[in-house]
């Protein structure tokens, strides 16, 4: 079984990415699972090239520092030749209507001027990511399910039209985990590309920054902490973060803390300790340019070795090589 998951360098890695994804990826430890930095997906809307490059490098370092074996990690654009060729073959297997009906495209393009064509076609690139690696399972949230469904359709159509090349992937639900909310707007999820970062804890924030952000977190005004996600999303978010870091149930943890001040200090301590090894490991890797370059090159070579036969076969079967 090969599982494939990605993280997009649309901003600095935040606490939610760590608790909801990276930490689990590192713990899963299945030898064939693959994790990648999807930098090509960060280009479907206006982007800054230098920033994209540095965020992709940073994310690679964060993935490795979070404990994911370097053998299982790669940067998407290092496979640009293979993915470019396969995306084209898959675009020639996909109808315009199938791409245009993607809900994410409709939502993200609505009312926008100068929408990039790549916003329409990026689900086909995503299909290429999946099919190139022969992934059996793609754990995704609800918003990405339709895209994995498209990858399934294209794999089946290709296989039945030209011959068996692709594994037909399945969208799986990631195990229920912490859904971390923005500290300043606790009804929204914490996001690396949030307009306002006061409520976002980044993995590379210094301990004092983390403490400051948590002290300022919105806590719904009542005097004692109670776990009630519906009516008290701010304090409930803090309790969920604490539970994700130290274990236990949020409702039980609430009883241990008589005031918001004490709770916030405990959450800050827990988050600082949770992120410390990732922050220190990332910084060390970013300082060791040669080592990071070696990890990146080795990851790319392995990912290409494992998968390039599928592009060659697909091109041959469509009559293009």
> Where on the chain is the footprint of ligand AQP (CB under 6 A)?
7-8, 10-11, 14, 16-17, 19-21, 141, 178-180, 189-193
Phi and psi of 244, rounded to 5°? -65, -30
Helix or strand (DSSP H, E) at 241? helix 233-246
- Residue with smaller CB distance to ligand AQP, 47 or 179: 179
Smallest distance from ligand AQP to CB 159, Å:
27
Please, which residues bridge with residue 6 across strands?
36
Closest residue to ligand AQP, based on beta-carbon distance: 20
Q: Is 108 a catalytic residue?
A: yes
Contacts of 185 (CB under 8 A, 6+ apart): 199, 218
Give the CA diameter of the chain: 71
Residue 275: partners with Cβ closer than 8 Å, 6 or more residues away: 15, 18, 201, 203, 205, 210
State the nearest-atom distance from the C-beta of 56 to ligand AQP, in Å: 12
Closest to 165 in 3D by CA, of 175, 173, 157: 157
Residue 6 Cβ vs ligand AQP, minimum distance, rounded to whole Å? 6
Task: Give dist(CA 15, CA 21) in Å, integer.
Answer: 10
Residue among 165 and 250 whose Cβ is closer to ligand AQP: 250
- Cβ 269 to ligand AQP, closest distance in Å? 20
3-class DSSP assignment, residue 307 = helix
Of the pair 213, 310, the CB lying nearest ligand AQP is at 213
Q: Which is nearer to ligand AQP, 19 or 311 (CB)?
A: 19
Beta strands 4-7; 34-37: pairing state: parallel
From the candidates 108, 110, 181, 213, give the one annotated as an active-site residue.
Answer: 108
**Residue 58 CB partners (closer than 8 Å, separation 6+):** 9, 12, 13, 204, 282, 286
Q: Which of 181, 192, 213, 264 is catalytic?
A: 192
**Minimum separation from the CB atom of position 179 to ligand AQP (A):** 5
Q: Is 213 noted as a catalytic residue in this protein?
A: no
Residues 175 and 172: their CA atoms lie apart, in Å, by 9
Considering only CA atoms, give the Rg of the chain.
Answer: 21
Measured from the CB atom, is 93 or 197 closer to ligand AQP?
Answer: 197
- Compute the least distance from the CB of residue 22 to ligand AQP, in Å: 7
Nearer to ligand AQP, 104 or 308 (CB): 104
Q: Which is nearer to ligand AQP, 7 or 165 (CB)?
A: 7
What is the separation of C-alpha 58 from the centre of its chain, rounded to a whole number of angstroms?
14
Q: Indicate which residue of 106, 110, 189, 264 is catalytic.
A: 189
CA distances from 3 to 29, 131, 133, 302 (A): 11, 11, 9, 16
Is 192 one of the annotated active-site residues of the chain? Answer: yes
Question: What's the rounded Cα separation, in Å, for the pair 181 and 21?
Answer: 14
Closest contact distance (angstroms) between CB of 321 and ligand AQP is 33
Residues annotated as catalytic are: 108, 189, 192
């Amino acid at each position: 079984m090969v599982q494939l998951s990605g993280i997009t360098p649309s901003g600095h890695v935040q606490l939610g990415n760590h608790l909801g994804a990276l930490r689990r990826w590192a713990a899963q430890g299945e030898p064939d699972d693959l994790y990648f930095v999807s930098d090509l997906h960060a280009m479907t809307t206006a982007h800054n090239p230098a920033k994209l490059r540095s965020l992709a490098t940073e994310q690679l370092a964060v993935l490795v520092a979070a404990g994911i074996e370097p053998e299982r990690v790669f940067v998407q654009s290092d496979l640009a030749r293979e993915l470019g060729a396969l995306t084209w073959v898959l675009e020639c297997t996909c109808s315009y209507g199938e791409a245009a009906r993607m809900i994410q495209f409709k939502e993200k393009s609505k009312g926008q001027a100068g929408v990039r064509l790549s916003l329409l076609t990026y689900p086909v690139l995503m299909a290429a990511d999946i099919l190139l690696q022969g992934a059996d399972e793609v754990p995704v949230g609800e918003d990405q399910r339709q895209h994995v469904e498209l990858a399934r359709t294209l794999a089946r159509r290709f296989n039945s039209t030209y011959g068996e090349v692709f594994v037909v992937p399945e969208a799986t639900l990631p195990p229920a985990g912490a859904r971390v909310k923005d500290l300043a707007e606790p009804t929204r999820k914490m996001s690396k590309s949030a307009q306002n970062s006061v409520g976002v804890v980044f993995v590379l924030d210094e301990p004092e920054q983390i403490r400051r952000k948590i002290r300022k977190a919105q806590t719904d005004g009542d005097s004692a902490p109670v776990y009630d996600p519906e009516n008290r999303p701010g304090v409930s978010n803090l309790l969920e973060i604490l539970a994700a870091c130290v274990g236990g149930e949020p409702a039980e943890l609430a009883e241990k803390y008589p005031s918001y001040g004490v709770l916030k200090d405990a959450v800050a301590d827990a988050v600082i300790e949770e992120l410390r090894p990732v922050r220190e490991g990332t910084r060390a890797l970013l300082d060791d340019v040669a080592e990071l370059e070696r990890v990146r090159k080795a990851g790319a070579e392995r990912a290409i070795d494992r998968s390039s036969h599928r592009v060659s076969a697909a091109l041959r079967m469509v009559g293009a090589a």
